[in-house]
C-alpha cells in the first residue's frame, strides 16, 4: 500500500475563488524519496500545506489518503499523529515557548506508546542536536524566536529527527542555507532516511539533490504535475529551465 496517495486533487484558497491545484496525482511508497520542482507560484507549497491540513485551503475535488485513511476532514494534529511531518518554508515564531518543552509535548502526543519523561527526553533532544551540529544551549531557546534563517531550517529538521514521522515533506528546506549548513542538514536527513520513511522534497534548486538522491522527480507547473521522472529529470531542468516544458504544453 502506498504511504501517500493523491488522486486528481483540486484545491482553492478559502474565501477566494482562485483554484491553485488543478488536478494533482502523486503516490509515495515507504522508503521512497521524491523531489517536487517547479517555478514560483506553481502550487508546490500549497500542496505541502494541504497534505498537512492547513485550514486556509479547501479541497474542491479529488482525494488524499495516507496509510489508507482519508485525510480530507482530518485536523492537522491528527495527521501528525498518523506520522505526517511538514518542514515549513517559513517556520513561525512563538515567543516565550521553550523549544524543548514544546517538542516533548509534541513527541508524547504523537507517540502515546513511548512517552518520555523530561529527563529521558532531554537525552534524546541532546543526541539529535549533536546530529545536526547544533549547540546544547539550543534547548533553552524559545521556539524559532530570533532564529536566523539557517537556524530556523535546522530547527525544522531537528523537529523531524525527534518526531520520527513516516512521511516528511520538506518545503524549501534548502533555501536560505549556506553550503556548509546545507551539507549538515542533508547529512541529517540522510541519517533519518529509512525503509519506512517517505520523503517529499520541495525545491527550486538541484543543489540539495546532489546530497539527497531522489528516486523520483516531479515537475509542477500551474497547479499540475506535468512531468515525472528519475533524478536525470532534475539535471535536465538545471540545464534547460522550465520553459521547454511550458512551451510543450
Among 45, 89, 110, 203, binds other proteins (CB under 8 A): 110
Where do runs of H (alpha helix) occur along the chain? 44-52, 76-82, 99-110, 118-131, 149-163, 179-192, 231-240, 243-248
Instruction: List phi, psi (to 5°) of 119.
Output: -70, -50
Examine residue 102 and tell whether it contacts other proteins (CB under 8 A). yes
State in angstroms the smallest separation of the CB of 235 from other proteins. Answer: 32
Instruction: Tell me how far apart the alpha carbons of residues 82 and 51 are, in angstroms, rounded to a whole number.
Output: 12
What is the per-residue binding string for other proteins in 189-228, x denoting contact by CB under 8 A?
Answer: ----------------------------------------
Q: Which stretch binds other proteins (CB under 8 A): 36-44, 87-95, 122-130, 200-208?
A: 87-95
Instruction: Tell me how far apart the alpha carbons of residues 63 and 230 are, in angstroms, rounded to a whole number.
Output: 25
Nearer to other proteins, 152 or 218 (CB): 152
State in angstroms the smallest separation of the CB of 90 from other proteins. Answer: 8
Examine residue 96 and tell whether it contacts other proteins (CB under 8 A). yes
Among 198, 157, 197, CA closest to 176: 157
Examine residue 246 and tell whether it contacts other proteins (CB under 8 A). no
Nearer to other proteins, 59 or 245 (CB): 59
**Cα dihedral sign, 82-87-92-93:** positive
Pairing mode of beta strands 33-37, 57-66:
unpaired
DSSP 247: H
State in angstroms the smallest separation of the CB of 35 from other proteins. Answer: 21
Nearer to other proteins, 82 or 245 (CB): 82
**Residue 116, burial from CB neighbour count under 10 angstroms (0-12, 13-18, 19+):** middle
Q: Compute how many other C-beta atoms are within 10 angstroms of the C-beta atom of residue 91.
A: 17
Instruction: Tell me how far apart the alpha carbons of residues 188 and 99 are, in angstroms, rounded to a whole number.
Output: 19
Among 54, 183, 187, 204, binds other proteins (CB under 8 A): 54
Examine residue 170 and tell whether it contacts other proteins (CB under 8 A). no
Nearer to other proteins, 108 or 122 (CB): 108
> Could you tell me the three cell numbers for 46?
500549497
Among 88, 121, 147, 216, binds other proteins (CB under 8 A): 88
Examine residue 64 and tell whether it contacts other proteins (CB under 8 A). no
Tell me the number of residues near other proteins by CB under 8 A: 31
Instruction: Tell me how far apart the alpha carbons of residues 144 and 96 are, in angstroms, rounded to a whole number.
Output: 10
Among 63, 77, 114, 115, binds other proteins (CB under 8 A): 77
Residues near other proteins (CB under 8 A) are: 52-56, 75-77, 79-81, 85-86, 88, 91-92, 94-97, 102-103, 105-107, 109-110, 142-143, 159, 163
Amino acid at each position: 500500500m502506498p504511504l501517500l496517495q493523491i488522486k486528481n486533487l483540486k484545491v482553492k484558497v478559502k474565501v477566494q475563488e482562485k483554484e491553485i491545484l488543478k488536478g494533482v496525482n502523486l503516490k509515495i511508497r515507504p522508503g521512497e524519496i521524491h523531489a517536487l520542482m517547479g517555478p514560483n507560484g506553481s502550487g508546490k507549497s500549497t500542496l505541502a500545506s494541504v497534505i498537512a491540513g492547513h485550514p486556509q485551503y479547501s479541497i474542491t475535488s479529488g482525494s488524499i489518503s495516507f496509510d489508507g485513511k482519508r485525510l480530507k476532514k482530518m485536523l492537522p494534529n491528527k495527521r501528525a499523529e498518523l506520522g505526517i511531518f511538514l518542514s515549513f518554508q517559513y517556520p513561525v515564531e512563538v515567543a516565550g515557548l521553550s523549544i524543548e518543552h514544546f517538542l516533548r509535548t509534541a513527541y508524547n502526543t504523537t507517540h502515546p506508546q513511548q512517552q518520555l519523561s523530561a529527563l529521558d527526553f532531554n537525552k534524546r533532544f541532546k543526541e539529535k542536536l549533536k546530529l545536526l551540529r547544533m549547540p546544547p544551549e539550543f534547548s533553552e531557546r524559545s521556539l524559532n524566536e530570533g532564529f536566523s534563517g539557517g537556524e530556523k531550517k535546522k530547527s525544522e529538521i531537528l523537529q523531524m529527527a525527534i518526531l520520527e514521522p513516516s512521511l516528511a515533506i520538506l518545503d524549501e528546506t534548502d533555501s536560505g542555507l549556506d553550503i556548509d549548513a546545507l551539507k549538515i542538514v542533508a547529512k541529517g536527513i540522510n541519517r533519518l532516511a529509512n525503509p519506512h520513511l517517505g520523503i517529499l522534497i520541495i525545491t527550486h534548486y538541484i543543489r540539495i539533490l546532489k546530497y539527497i538522491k531522489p528516486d523520483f522527480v516531479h515537475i509542477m507547473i500551474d497547479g499540475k504535475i506535468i512531468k515525472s521522472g528519475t533524478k536525470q529529470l532534475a539535471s535536465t531542468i538545471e540545464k534547460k529551465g522550465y520553459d521547454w516544458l511550458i512551451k510543450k504544453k
